[in-house]
A and B are shown apart, each in its own frame.
Chain A
């Protein structure tokens, strides 16, 4: 398991290669990369700054990876989330999940992202032509996380 909060960019290919290096029990690696967009809520976004809660962030990410491990037979998980100022097109977050079969890798990757969106203490502030603004939480993100609680 690898959890990093960093200002630097990450390399998806290198992270995925590192997961499977030296082992032959992995049958599937599913990955997700979130990018900074140039448009949100009808305004152009020229940059964004990600703030977080040092200490709690790492703890919250570890807790949601633990929860994914409890739900699916996973072989490895990598979560990298960037903080600081990012430009449109920059990668923000990476989640990669290794498992014996694809079903659990796909599911756990989506689960981790859905929980990260509602549980991990990060906040985005956007720079737009109208000035700076904090991104508001979306009800659709709460709904996406809540569906994993359905019986």
Chain B
């Protein structure tokens, strides 16, 4: 499936990318995170188990077992700190 993946704040800076288009064969947010971890380096470090990050699918924060719809907008970001 085609995905548009966005990164924000500290993760955007560490990954050095704000947005990318991916052709992804998996089905869930967890599988996407695992495939990004497999890139190694800062990806493996920031997305390791136990690290705090959030995943949103089509602009709603979801649990990692959430299914990915085709053409989804997926965002991965640190816990929010507004207000």
Contacts and interface: CB of A to CB of B under 8 A. Distances in A.
A113 B83 CA distance: 7
B81 A92 contact: no
Interface string B32-61: 000000000000000000001000100111
Interface in A43-85: 50-53, 55-56, 59-60, 81
Nearest to A63: B60
Contacts of B60: 56, 59
A66 to B, nearest CB: 13
B5 to A, nearest CB: 13
Interface string B16-29: 00000000000000
B59 A118 contact: no
A120 interface: yes
A117 B8 contact: no
Contact of B83 (A55, A116, A134, A136): A116
Interface string B65-83: 0000000000101111111
Interface size class of B (residues with CB under 8 A): 10 to 19
Interface residues of A, number: 27
Contacts of A55: 59
**Chain A contact residues: over half helix, strand or loop, or mixed?**
mixed
Nearest to A125: B9
Interface in A84-126: 92-93, 113, 116-125
Given A53-B77, A119-B61, A124 B56 contact: no
Contacts of A137: 52, 78-81
A146 interface: no
Interface string A126-145: 00000000111100000000
A118 B61 CA distance: 11
A52 B80 CA distance: 9
Interface of B: 6, 8-10, 52, 56, 59-61, 75, 77-83
